[in-house]
């Protein structure tokens, strides 16, 4: 059985379907036709999770754009969670929606506020230059950018926590100061910075030294400001790891297997391994087996994930290598600052 008490289910209710055409998206193809998870599959997922040994579950609703599933879908999510998890006192759970924000309506805000959902937004900076890869293919990019930022204000007005994920690339990597100022202006509670990366098109990837330099600049801007918020999620965890402190970041603490991804058909995948060509597919009926065993075996996966647990995140590994191309440089950089 697993040694862990917590599990994160990354659920893609509409798979990769999205209302944006971000040019850096690693999705194999863009399909404007929404594929929505059936309520039967949703029921099986939440029921299976509630039966397991883990005392804490995080449901991360991801995509594509998960809000394309519709308000009624998330109303059913809440109903089923209360139905199945309400039977056990020791079970706790939380919901996070990772969104671009464009489909957030008052109905969504009311629902999420009443049920303590956390909202994570994707944006790359304060202006169109920073967001060229995100909004550059849209008919009215400035309108889309302004609309997204307006949702940040609504989040804070509603008293919800604001989590923001930035993709760092050649259009914004020299804008650390502007991006940090923007983060403070929108009053983000937590932020994370991911490098633009594609294991197939390595020439387009962010340079290792440039990316680590960006993180360093953000780190010292925040240190100079002397404020607890925003929490610099991945930066703080890199720094903690560099100085010998424990961190709960999955790939820095041998917890890659705490994350499972489920698509709209109920197929189960080991999160973050697709970039290495691994694909785990199983009927949702085997969710309990995935949750209860630490090491996948048999026909569930053909190549063990274990070799990657100590080598950074498989998502940032080239196909011909087994090591995250960024992690060692980042940790080395922070160790030099101790």
Residues 298-331: tens digit of each pLDDT:
322 333 443 334 456 767 766 566 667 777 788 8
Look at residue 246 and tell me if it is in a domain: yes
How far is the C-alpha of 30 from the C-alpha of 141, rounded, in Å? 18
Tell me the CA distances in angstroms from 24 to 29, 65, 205, 308, one per residue in order. 12, 15, 10, 25
Whole-number pLDDT of residue 135 = 93
Averaged pLDDT for residues 60-82: 96
Averaged pLDDT for residues 23-37: 68
pLDDT tens, 217-257?
A: 999 999 999 888 888 888 888 888 777 777 777 767 666 66
Whole-number pLDDT of residue 166 = 97
How far is the C-alpha of 269 from the C-alpha of 256, rounded, in Å? 12
Pairing of strands 268-270, 259-262: antiparallel
| Higher pLDDT pick, 247 / 3 | 247
User: Where residue 332 falls among pLDDT bands split at 50, 70, 90?
Assistant: confident
% the chain with pLDDT above 90? 45
In this model, does residue 205 exceed pLDDT 90?
no
Whole-number pLDDT of residue 275 = 40
User: Where residue 33 falls among pLDDT bands split at 50, 70, 90?
Assistant: low
Nearest to 61 by CA among 78, 40, 84: 78
Look at residue 233 and tell me if it is in a domain: yes
For residue 275, the domain's CATH number is 3.20.20.70
Whole-number pLDDT of residue 309 = 41
**Number of domains observed in the structure of the chain:** 1
Look at residue 146 and tell me if it is in a domain: yes
% the chain with pLDDT above 70? 73
| Higher pLDDT pick, 75 / 238 | 75
Whole-number pLDDT of residue 267 = 82
Averaged pLDDT for residues 45-66: 84
pLDDT tens, 160-194?
A: 999 999 999 999 999 999 999 999 999 999 999 99
Residue range of the domain that includes 22 = 6-337
Structure tokens given for 59:
């449901």
DSSP collapsed to 3 states, the chain: CCCCCEEEEEECCCCCCCCCCCCCCCCCCCCCCCCCCCHHHHHHHHHHHHHCCCCEEEEEECCCCHHHHCHHHHHHHHHHHHHHHCCCCCCEEEEEEEECCCCCCHHHHHHHHHCCCEEEEECCCCCCCCCHHHHCCCCCHHHHHHHHHHHHHHHHHCCCCEEEEEEECCCCCCCHHHHHHHHHHCCCCEEEEEECCCCCCHHHCCCHHHHHHHHHHHHHHHHHHCCCCCEEHHHHHHHHHHCCCCCCCHHHCCCHHHEEEECCCCCEEECCCHHHCCCCCCCHHHHHHHHHCCCCCHHHCCCCCHHHCCCCCHHHECCCCCCECCHHHHHHHHHHHC
pTM to 2 decimal places: 0.84
Pick from 82-96, 143-157, 284-298, 312-326: least confident: 284-298
How far is the C-alpha of 271 from the C-alpha of 279, rounded, in Å? 9
Averaged pLDDT for residues 46-51: 84
pLDDT tens, 91-122?
A: 788 999 999 999 999 999 999 999 999 999 99
In this model, does residue 75 exceed pLDDT 50?
yes
pLDDT tens, 261-285?
A: 888 988 887 665 544 333 344 445 5
Instruction: Please list, in sequence order, all residues whose beta carbon lies within 8 angstroms of the beta carbon of residue 35, skipping any fewer than 6 positions away.
Output: 14, 15, 17, 264
Nearest to 330 by CA among 238, 240, 243: 238
């Amino acid at each position: 059985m697993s040694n862990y008490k917590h599990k994160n289910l990354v659920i893609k209710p509409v798979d990769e379907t999205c209302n944006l055409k971000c040019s850096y998206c690693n999705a194999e193809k863009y399909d404007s036709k929404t594929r929505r998870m059936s309520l039967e599959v949703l029921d099986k997922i939440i029921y299976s999770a509630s039966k397991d040994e883990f005392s804490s579950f995080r449901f991360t609703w991801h995509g594509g754009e998960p809000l394309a599933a519709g308000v009624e879908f998330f109303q059913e999510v809440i109903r089923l969670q209360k139905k199945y998890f309400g039977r056990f006192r020791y079970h706790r759970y939380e919901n996070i929606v990772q969104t671009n924000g464009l489909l957030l309506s008052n109905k969504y805000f009311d629902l999420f506020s009443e049920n303590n959902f956390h909202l994570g937004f994707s944006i790359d900076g304060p202006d169109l230059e920073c967001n060229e890869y995100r909004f550059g293919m849209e008919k009215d990019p400035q309108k889309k950018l302004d609309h997204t930022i307006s949702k940040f204000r609504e989040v804070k007005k509603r008293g919800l926590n604001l989590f923001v994920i930035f993709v760092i690339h050649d259009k914004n990597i020299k804008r650390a100061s502007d991006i940090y100022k923007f983060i403070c202006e929108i009053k983000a509670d937590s932020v994370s910075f991911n490098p633009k990366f594609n294991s197939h098109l390595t020439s387009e990837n962010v340079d290792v030294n440039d990316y680590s330099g960006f993180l360093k600049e953000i780190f010292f801007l925040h240190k100079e400001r002397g404020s607890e918020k925003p929490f610099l999620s991945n930066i703080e965890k890199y720094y903690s790891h560099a100085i010998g402190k424990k961190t709960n970041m999955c790939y820095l603490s041998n917890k890659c297997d705490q994350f499972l991804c489920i698509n709209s058909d109920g197929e189960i995948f080991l999160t973050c391994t697709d970039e290495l060509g691994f694909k785990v597919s199983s009927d949702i009926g085997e969710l309990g087996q995935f949750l209860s065993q630490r090491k996948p075996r048999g026909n569930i996966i053909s190549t063990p994930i274990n070799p990657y647990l100590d080598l950074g995140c498989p998502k940032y590994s080239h196909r011909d290598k087994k090591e995250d191309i960024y992690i060692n440089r980042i940790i080395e950089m922070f160790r030099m600052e101790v």
